[in-house]
């Protein structure tokens, strides 16, 4: 009977408190209640009553101050107990085996010799300002950086090559928006980088000041032609500008991997890791973001989406054995006649068949006298016109290496968004001198609207 | 008449070795070529062997030496007593949850020994004797083991083996070993004060105890006990591996209780206040990813963390250490005087970070002041596959796993000193010591 009673209480040992088992245990051992036990019982009852009156567990404080050992920390526990006191109005918890445990302490000290570790209630140590220390946070971030660098050197690409990024740009309202986005992506790239910025209309301070903020190695060249107003012409000029950049690479004999980052595109960080795998000439899948501003387009859009619900993707297409089988291109037929002609048209901007940004090259393909250059690459100087896409540089398109899990991963997105032709912006986006007309906030138009 | 004065062959070949030029004779030329070729091959082999095989990992050698990869087969012989199934199989049948909780090592050790080459069927040639009792298999509905019947069970098993075989009485159990993976080992109680009161079961005082509990100067840790890691399911951990190039972006990670609200709501008892101190000091610190929630991505998160906290709970040991080692996260051990698994074979000081319980408020300063090259070295040591295998109990067994480390530990204790063998009629253990409830038959 006694055993089963004990067993019952022990069954929920983690759920119910061991406190209730304490007195039971002691009572089962000593059949006759000794005067000490009676005294403690009475004392317990007295403490209960006092705590009821006061509203907190004062027994804890009493016994703590009476029986605490050197292992407890004085100033922290009262600090904490005052907070807890407000919270714990639970009278049931007053029936603690605090006295039992604390009485055991001196006994334990005798039985366990040489042990610094004592069983019983310890204080909870809290430092005076338990909040993050900025110095330590910075140190920790540096440690994280070092660990990640080590991880990258072990599991990432061995012998990473320099990434050479070619960006054609020109001064316009949205240039700061687009170029800053590309710049921030490039600043995060963990490999050596050279950024070749070709600017239509010549080198300007606008672009130069934007690029200087990056801290990257940049080559800023001007192209002596102004950017035309139509998308067709713009695409052609951009191709010419990129060829100009390739010629610079050839002259300077830069070594690495060339990628084309148009200033309004979005690049994922995995792209830069993936292009390190290219041997000579690679292609990645580009997601095409076409947008329509005109609401008339929405009805037609819906029909289109039923047929092609996925985002259009340009890039290499592979067969079942992961060999290049063809190309996914953008289907321009649904948009024939409805696309934007001029740069500030409110219509869909269409990409060309295959965008430059989806291709990466090994710079050795461009060098004049490279001994291990493959036969299928054309010499840049021999090109008589400009080419629509880098595929024009190769004699045999089947040598292109598909990257990104054979084109299944979309690693960057193509987008063309420009402001209206009559939009103006302050040079370098600095409002200087400050605006003259200021409206006091009480008189603003929206204050009236809310009423 | 061709005058080809061929010089003596020995001189010629030695010259060849030096110069490799000037030998007109084609056969000696060929001999030269062979000699040089052999020399190059030999150099190549030597270079490849001495060159750093794998810069990602480092060899582990503890105070007992380079023993993690030792093979215990042939170094010891273990005899497994045939106990009636009420001590093992029947208990397991009653509750199969015993196979997956953290105390499952006793069951798997039995199974391992039954089919291991160290097992001998001839008790005369055995160095060690194993008694298969599943003492930690009496579970509550929530899955926690109740230790109240265990002393009686063990005592009755020992009475059985001492009466049926002569080997117990020969040494009073000094060449026997028992696996007792409960909270406080052979003290058979989950509450530390009660466990200390009881002490190690008197009948087991001379035997070697293989237990998970380890704390210096504690009643429940005998000299010569072997500390083992708690059981953690190897397949579950293998199944949740993430690619190793995922960058480790969490600085400190911990998931678990800080306050045991049911048994110790104010804190101070549970974990000697250390877990509560961690929470109070670092709950607002973004570097410390600590909480009581149990996420589904627990294993994956550990693989993205640099440090994993392993503070004590009600007992100083926990499966967190095993999980941290398997997932390559540096364990931060906050438990004063703890004895970690296989402490003589694994140099825990070099692998983990030890923080005294009183230094918990300064934990962030301690961790950030570790020099980065030390952190990288610890990660390399953790990446060693023999380290990870030594912490696991895989089925089927693999070389170098925890079973083999236990046998290695037992082998290192051989040969038994002469004092182990008692003179006939000599008795050291007191069979009637301990609480009266323990003496009831089982």
> Would the CA dihedral through A354, A358, A294, A237 be positive or negative?
negative
Whether B372 sits inside 8 A of A143 (CB atoms) is yes
Share of chain B above pLDDT 70, in %: 92
Whether B287 sits inside 8 A of A101 (CB atoms) is no
Asked if residue A422 is part of any domain, the answer here is no
Catalogue the long-range contacts made by A13-21 (C-beta closer than 8 Å, 24 or more residues apart). Answer: A13/B140, A13/B144, A13/B146, A13/B190, A14/B142, A14/B144, A14/B260, A14/B262, A14/B263, A15/B142, A15/B262, A16/B262, A17/B262, A17/B263, A17/B264, A18/A97, A18/B191, A18/B263, A19/A95, A19/A96, A19/A97, A19/B263, A20/A95
d(CA B129, CA B119): 10
CATH number at residue A372: 3.90.550.10
Any idea which fold B234-392 has? Rossmann fold (3.40.50)
More confident residue, B435 or A268: A268
Asked if residue A200 is part of any domain, the answer here is yes
Site from B253, B372, B373, B382 to mutate, A interface, most A CB atoms within 10 angstroms:
B372
Residues of chain A with C-beta less than 8 angstroms from the C-beta of B361: 125-127, 130
* Chain A nearest C-alpha distance from B81 (Å): 31
Asked if residue A40 is part of any domain, the answer here is no
Residue B75, token pair as written in the block: 């170094």
Q: Which residue in B has a C-alpha nearest to residue A16's C-alpha?
A: B262
Residues of chain A with C-beta less than 8 angstroms from the C-beta of B217: 112-115, 117
pLDDT class for B381, splitting at 50, 70, 90?
Answer: very high
For A386-400, A429-443, B284-298, which range has the lowest pLDDT when averaged over its residues? A429-443
Residues of chain A with C-beta less than 8 angstroms from the C-beta of B437: 3
Report whether B73 contacts B118 (CB < 8 A): yes
Can you give the pLDDT at residue A221? 94
Phi/psi-derived region of residue A72, left when phi > 0, alpha when psi is between -120 and 50, beta in every other case: beta
Tracing tokens 């004085």 back to the chain, one arrives at A74
pLDDT class for A22, splitting at 50, 70, 90?
Answer: very low
CB nearest to A132's CB, from B193, B247, B285: B285
- Domain extent at residue A182: 161-293+310-415
Report whether B354 contacts A120 (CB < 8 A): no
Helices (H) and strands (E) in chain A, counts: 14, 12
d(CA B23, CA B15): 9
The string of DSSP codes covering A403-447 is -HHHHTSEEEEE------TT----GGG---SPPS----GGG-HHH
For residue B139, the 8-state DSSP code is B
Q: How many structural domains compose chain A?
A: 1
> Would the CA dihedral through A224, A229, A231, A233 be positive or negative?
negative
Strands (E), B161-277: 176-180, 208-211, 226-227, 250-255
Return the number of CB contacts < 8 Å for A and B: 163
Residue A353, token pair as written in the block: 């068949």
Residues of chain B with C-beta less than 8 angstroms from the C-beta of A14: 142, 144, 260, 262-263
Report whether B406 contacts B226 (CB < 8 A): yes
Q: What is the mean pLDDT of residues A84-108?
A: 36
Determine contact: A123 vs chain B, CB below 8 A: yes
Report whether A276 contacts A257 (CB < 8 A): yes
Can you give the pLDDT at residue B347? 93
* Chain A nearest C-alpha distance from B279 (Å): 9
- Give the residue range(s) of CATH 3.40.50 domains in chain B: 234-392
Residues of chain A with C-beta less than 8 angstroms from the C-beta of B244: 151, 154-155
Q: What is the mean pLDDT of residues B367-386?
A: 94
Q: Which residue in A has a C-alpha nearest to residue B141's C-alpha?
A: A11
Can you give the pLDDT at residue B427? 77
Determine contact: A111 vs chain B, CB below 8 A: yes
Whether B379 sits inside 8 A of A125 (CB atoms) is no
pLDDT class for B411, splitting at 50, 70, 90?
Answer: very high
Report whether B214 contacts B221 (CB < 8 A): yes
Can you give the pLDDT at residue B52? 47
pLDDT class for A110, splitting at 50, 70, 90?
Answer: very low
Q: Which residue in B has a C-alpha nearest to residue A134's C-alpha?
A: B285
Report whether B60 contacts B386 (CB < 8 A): yes
* Chain B nearest C-alpha distance from A80 (Å): 9
Residue B172 pLDDT exceeds 50: yes
pLDDT in tens, A160-182: 899 999 999 999 999 999 999 99
Whether B218 sits inside 8 A of A113 (CB atoms) is no
pLDDT in tens, B69-128: 888 888 999 999 999 999 989 999 999 999 989 999 999 999 999 999 999 999 999 999
Asked if residue A430 is part of any domain, the answer here is no
* Dihedral over alpha carbons B397, B403, B405, B407 (to 10 degrees): -120
Q: Which residue in B has a C-alpha nearest to residue A157's C-alpha?
A: B245
d(CA B212, CA B138): 18
Query: Per mean pLDDT, which of A325-329, B241-245, B326-330 is the most reliable?
Result: B326-330
Residues of chain A with C-beta less than 8 angstroms from the C-beta of B282: 130
Chain B contacts in chain A segment 212-231 (CB below 8 A): none
Residue A326 in 3-state DSSP? strand
**What b/e string do you get for A159-190 counting C-beta neighbours within 10 Å, with b at 16 or more?**
ebbebbbbbbbbbbbebbebbeebbebbeebe
Can you give the pLDDT at residue A62? 60
Report whether A253 contacts A160 (CB < 8 A): no
Whether A14 sits inside 8 A of B262 (CB atoms) is yes
Whether A130 sits inside 8 A of B284 (CB atoms) is yes
Can you give the pLDDT at residue A120? 81
Can you give the pLDDT at residue B393? 94
d(CA A254, CA A194): 9
Residue A4 pLDDT exceeds 60: no
Whether B244 sits inside 8 A of A155 (CB atoms) is yes
Can you give the pLDDT at residue B163? 92
Whether A11 sits inside 8 A of B140 (CB atoms) is yes
Q: Which residue in B has a C-alpha nearest to residue A64's C-alpha?
A: B268
Q: Which residue in A has a C-alpha nearest to residue B359's C-alpha?
A: A125
Helices (H) and strands (E) in chain B, counts: 16, 10
Residue A417 pLDDT exceeds 90: no
> Which burial class, exposed, middle or buried, applies to B429 when counting CB atoms under 10 A from its CB (0-12, 13-18, 19+)?
middle
d(CA A362, CA A365): 6
d(CA B129, CA B158): 12
Asked if residue A102 is part of any domain, the answer here is no
- Comparing CA positions, the residue from B420, B422, B426 lying closest to residue B128 is B420
Q: What is the overall mean pLDDT for chain B?
A: 87
Whether A124 sits inside 8 A of B277 (CB atoms) is yes
Chain B contacts in chain A segment 36-95 (CB below 8 A): 60, 73, 77, 80-81, 84, 88, 93
Residue B218, token pair as written in the block: 């504690």
Q: What is the mean pLDDT of residues B383-411?
A: 92
CB nearest to B273's CB, from A125, A152, A155: A125
Residue A418 pLDDT exceeds 50: yes
- Percent helix, strand, coil in chain A, to 5, is 45, 15, 40
* Dihedral over alpha carbons B104, B107, B112, B118 (to 10 degrees): 120
Can you give the pLDDT at residue A338? 77
Whether A137 sits inside 8 A of B286 (CB atoms) is yes
CB atoms within 10 A of CB B292: 12
d(CA B102, CA B420): 33
Residue A398 in 3-state DSSP? helix
Site from B287, B315, B339 to mutate, A interface, most A CB atoms within 10 angstroms:
B287
- Comparing CA positions, the residue from A214, A209, A203, A220 lying closest to residue A181 is A214
For A198-202, A221-225, A374-378, B302-306, which range has the lowest pLDDT when averaged over its residues? A374-378
Residue B26 pLDDT exceeds 80: no
Report whether B309 contacts B247 (CB < 8 A): no
CB nearest to A121's CB, from B196, B269, B370: B269
pLDDT in tens, A42-62: 988 887 888 788 765 555 556
Q: Which residue in B has a C-alpha nearest to residue A20's C-alpha?
A: B263
Q: What is the overall mean pLDDT for chain A?
A: 76
For A262-271, A375-384, B293-302, which range has the lowest pLDDT when averaged over its residues? A375-384
Determine contact: A114 vs chain B, CB below 8 A: yes
Residue A444 pLDDT exceeds 70: no
Peptide bond just before B415 cis, omega within 30 deg: yes
Report whether A313 contacts A328 (CB < 8 A): yes
Half-sphere exposure of B301 (CA within 13 A, CB side): 19
Whether B196 sits inside 8 A of A60 (CB atoms) is no
pLDDT class for B42, splitting at 50, 70, 90?
Answer: confident
Residue A200, token pair as written in the block: 């239509």
For residue B422, the 8-state DSSP code is P
Can you give the pLDDT at residue B346? 92
Share of chain B above pLDDT 90, in %: 58
Asked if residue A273 is part of any domain, the answer here is yes
Whether B280 sits inside 8 A of A80 (CB atoms) is yes
Determine contact: A134 vs chain B, CB below 8 A: no
- Whole-number CA gyration radius for chain B: 28
Residue A259 in 3-state DSSP? strand
More confident residue, B301 or A386: B301
Strand partners for B396: none
Peptide bond just before B426 cis, omega within 30 deg: no
d(CA B212, CA B185): 7
Q: What is the mean pLDDT of residues B143-156?
A: 89
* Chain A nearest C-alpha distance from B296 (Å): 23
Which helix or strand (DSSP H or E) is residue A181 part of?
Answer: helix A175-187
Determine contact: A139 vs chain B, CB below 8 A: yes
Whether A147 sits inside 8 A of B375 (CB atoms) is yes
pLDDT in tens, A238-259: 999 999 999 999 999 999 999 9
């Amino acid at each position: 009977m006694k055993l089963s009673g004990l067993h019952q209480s022990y069954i929920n040992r983690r759920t119910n408190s061991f406190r209730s088992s304490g007195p039971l245990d002691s009572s089962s051992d000593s059949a006759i209640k000794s005067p000490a036990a009676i005294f403690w019982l009475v004392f317990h009852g007295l403490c209960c009553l006092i705590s009821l009156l006061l509203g907190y567990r004062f027994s804890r404080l009493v016994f703590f101050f009476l029986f605490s050992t050197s292992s407890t920390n004085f100033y922290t526990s009262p600090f904490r107990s005052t907070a807890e006191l407000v919270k714990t109005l639970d009278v049931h918890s007053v029936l603690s085996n605090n006295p039992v445990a604390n009485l055991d302490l001196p006994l334990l000290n005798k039985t366990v010799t040489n042990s610094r570790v004592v069983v019983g209630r310890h204080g909870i140590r809290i430092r005076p300002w338990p909040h993050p220390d900025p110095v330590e946070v910075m140190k920790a971030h540096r440690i994280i950086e070092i660990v990640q660098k080590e991880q990258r050197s072990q599991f990432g690409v061995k012998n990473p090559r320099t990434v050479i990024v070619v960006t054609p740009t020109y001064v316009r309202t949205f240039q700061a928006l687009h170029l800053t986005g590309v710049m921030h992506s490039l600043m995060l790239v963990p490999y050596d980088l050279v950024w070749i910025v070709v600017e239509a209309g010549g080198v300007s301070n606008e672009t130069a000041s934007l690029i200087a903020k990056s801290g990257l190695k940049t080559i800023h060249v001007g192209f002596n032609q102004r950017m035309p107003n139509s998308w067709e012409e713009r695409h052609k000029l951009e191709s010419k500008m990129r060829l100009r950049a390739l010629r610079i690479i050839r002259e300077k004999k830069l070594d690495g991997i060339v990628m084309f980052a148009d200033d309004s595109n979005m690049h994922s960080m995995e792209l830069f890791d993936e292009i390190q795998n290219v041997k000579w000439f690679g292609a990645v899948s580009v997601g095409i973001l076409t947008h329509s501003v005109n609401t008339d387009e929405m009805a037609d859009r819906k029909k289109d989406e039923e047929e092609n619900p996925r985002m259009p993707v340009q890039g290499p297409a592979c067969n079942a054995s992961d060999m290049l089988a063809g190309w996914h291109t953008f289907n321009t037929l649904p948009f024939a006649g409805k696309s934007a002609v001029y740069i500030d048209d409110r219509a869909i901007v269409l990409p060309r068949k295959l965008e430059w940004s989806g291709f990466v090259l090994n710079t050795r393909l461009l060098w004049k006298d490279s001994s291990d250059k493959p036969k299928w690459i054309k010499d840049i100087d021999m090109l008589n016109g400009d080419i629509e896409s880098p595929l024009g540089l190769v004699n045999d398109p089947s040598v292109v290496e598909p990257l990104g899990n054979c084109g299944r991963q979309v690693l960057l997105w193509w987008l063309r968004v420009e402001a209206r032709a009559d939009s103006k912006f302050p040079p370098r986006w600095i409002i200087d001198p400050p605006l003259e007309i200021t409206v006091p906030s009480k008189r603003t138009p929206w204050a009236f609207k809310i009423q | 008449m061709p005058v080809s004065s061929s010089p003596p062959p020995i001189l010629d070949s030695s010259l060849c070795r030096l110069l490799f030029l000037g030998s007109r004779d084609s056969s000696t030329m060929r001999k030269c070529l062979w000699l040089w070729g052999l020399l190059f091959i030999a150099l190549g082999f030597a270079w490849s062997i001495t060159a750093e095989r794998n810069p990602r990992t480092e060899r582990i050698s503890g105070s007992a030496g380079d023993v993690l990869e030792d093979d215990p087969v042939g170094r010891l012989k273990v005899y497994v007593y045939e106990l009636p199934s009420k001590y093992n199989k029947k208990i397991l049948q009653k509750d199969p949850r015993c196979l997956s909780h953290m105390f499952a090592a006793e069951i798997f050790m039995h199974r391992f020994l039954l089919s291991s080459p160290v097992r001998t069927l001839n008790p005369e040639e055995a160095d060690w004797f194993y008694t298969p009792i599943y003492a930690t298999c009496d579970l509550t509905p929530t899955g926690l083991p109740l230790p109240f019947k265990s002393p009686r069970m063990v005592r009755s098993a020992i009475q059985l083996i001492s009466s049926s075989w002569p080997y117990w009485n020969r040494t009073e159990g000094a060449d026997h070993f028992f696996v007792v993976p409960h909270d406080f080992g052979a003290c058979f109680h989950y509450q530390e004060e009660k466990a200390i009161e009881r002490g190690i079961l008197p009948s087991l005082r001379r035997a070697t105890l293989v237990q998970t509990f380890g704390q210096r100067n504690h009643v429940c840790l005998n000299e010569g006990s072997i500390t083992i890691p708690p059981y953690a399911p190897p397949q579950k951990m293998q199944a949740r591996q993430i690619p190793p190039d995922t960058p480790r972006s969490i600085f400190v990670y911990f998931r678990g209780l800080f306050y045991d609200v049911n048994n110790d709501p104010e804190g101070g008892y549970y974990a000697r206040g250390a877990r509560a101190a961690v929470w109070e000091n670092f709950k607002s610190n973004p570097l410390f990813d600590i909480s009581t929630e149990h996420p589904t991505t627990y294993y994956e998160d550990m693989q993205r963390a640099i440090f994993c906290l392993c503070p004590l709970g009600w007992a100083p040991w926990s499966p967190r250490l095993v999980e941290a080692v398997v997932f390559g996260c540096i364990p931060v051990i906050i438990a004063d005087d703890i004895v970690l698994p296989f402490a003589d074979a694994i140099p825990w000081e070099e692998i983990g970070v030890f923080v005294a319980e009183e230094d918990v408020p300064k934990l962030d300063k301690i961790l950030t002041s570790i020099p980065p090259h030390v952190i990288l070295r610890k990660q390399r040591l953790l990446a060693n596959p023999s380290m990870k295998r030594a912490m696991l109990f895989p089925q089927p067994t693999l070389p170098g796993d925890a079973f083999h480390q236990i046998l290695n530990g037992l082998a290192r204790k051989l040969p038994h000193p002469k004092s182990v063998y008692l003179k006939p009629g000599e008795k050291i253990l007191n069979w009637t010591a301990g609480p009266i409830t323990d003496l009831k038959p089982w």
